[in-house]
Amino acid sequence: MKTHHQIVIIGGGTAGIMVAAQMQKKHKNLDIAIIEPSDTHYYQPAWTLVGAGTYDFKKTARPMENLIPKGVTWIKDYANGFEPEKNSVSTKSRGNITYDYLVVAPGLVMDLSLIEGLPEALGKGVVCSNYTDPEHTWDVIKNFKGGNAVFTQPTTPIKCGGAPQKIAYLAADYFRKNGVANKSNVIFATPGTVIFGVKVIKETLMKVIDRYGIHFKPFYAPYKIDADKKIVYFKNTAKGENQCVITEDNTLGETMMGEAIIEMPFDMLHLAPPQTAPKFVKESVLVNEAGWLDVDHHSLQHNKYNNIFGLGDVAALPTAKTGAAIRKQVPVVVDNILKLMKNKKATNKSYNGYSSCPLVTAYGKMVLGEFDYDNNFTPDPKLKRMLVFNSAKEHWRLWMLKKYGLPYLYWNKMMKGKDV
């Protein structure tokens, strides 16, 4: 087995496959290898719809061997360490693999230990997460008979920051359609200060929250779950801001301990688990102080090692971790590596932080939150031409895009290295 390749890519997720496919489109004779242990590749953006009972989980999975481009070497193993000074990656069972250029795109991992009681609670009874088992989420939602339906997210970065609220909207719509809404409290609790950082999207979402009567709780950071007693504990992150944390009528049955601890009873709880870079990345010399891959925000070149690039969820980029972001990051990485191959500098610094969050707000409605590093609303010109209307407002055509259009584009265009 070869132990050296021109380009080594760590990760067979969206970012890794796209880089390999686009590289091959530019130069068929490149020697590219992907290090990826999994047999199955998932289209995770559809898991929100699976959790709401409106998408088949099986359709989100494809065999990895069908997606890795022909001519690319698949090293079916775990990467577990770096020696960047020696241009080397260590693997679990195949020893060291050396490279001329390295692309680090292993995604992120769930770290359930960061919320006390979460490892014991998740996936059992009424505690669920679309991030780990969307089919269980659907079971919990359809079996919910009333009470507090709590939706929350952690203080760590997470993939698709809008996902924890999307399922709250779909659940609220489902409860309303099935006669459960009048005996339910839907709560969305977030450590953040606003429902969404882009002003025009925030305005639309606050109307959605009002329509469903959702209890919106900013400054709520979950840190402990007691699954037996059905209580979730939050820390108030307001830090001196004059926030009325518990409302006067307190229909939710919250109790306050001291100035910063809130107990909230629940009858169902959906949350995004805390998420971090994989251990072998987090413990390497390639990360910043927060433990994410330290790359230039615009060129995606590593800030210390010129022949290393990083993109996707593992990268320390101040934007949302989404497939839409990766779609804009990949051409920059590909272009810069090709420049280095010609003994030029990686001068492509065109990535502006673009990401997008398809925010489903009801069965049959969606808003498309597109933004850059400065939280400007930045509709993609191609999509804008196709959609014609204002994507910051709810529309049924955006739902059709989410359910049918985006999966088609993903499997048939993005994964094959074609322009989207």
Catalytic site positions = 160, 357
Distance between CA 138 and CA 54 in Å, rounded? 9
CB 57 within 8 A of CB 42: no
Name residues whose C-beta falls within 8 Å of residue 372's C-beta, 6 or more positions apart in sequence. 319, 352, 353, 354, 355, 378
CB 41 within 8 A of CB 61: yes
Q: How many CB atoms lie within 10 A of CB 250?
A: 10
Residue 112 tokens, joined? 């359930």
Name residues whose C-beta falls within 8 Å of residue 221's C-beta, 6 or more positions apart in sequence. 154, 155, 191, 234, 235, 236, 237
Distance between CA 115 and CA 122 in Å, rounded? 11
Radius of gyration (Cα) for the chain, nearest Å? 22
Report which of 25, 45, 21 is spatially closest to residue 34, judged by C-alpha positions. Answer: 21
Which amino acid is it at 315?
A
Distance between CA 11 and CA 357 in Å, rounded? 23
Residue 22 tokens, joined? 């686009």
CB 363 within 8 A of CB 51: no
Angle among Cα 86, 87, 90 to the nearest 5 degrees reads 90
User: What are the C-alpha distances in Å from 59 to residues 45, 46, 159, 416, 420?
Assistant: 12, 9, 20, 18, 21
Q: Phi/psi at 336 (nearest 5 deg)?
A: -70, -40
DSSP 99: E
Size of the chain, expressed as the number of residues it contains: 420
Distance between CA 39 and CA 19 in Å, rounded? 19
Strand locations in 184-258, DSSP E?
184-189, 215-217, 220-226, 231-236, 255-257
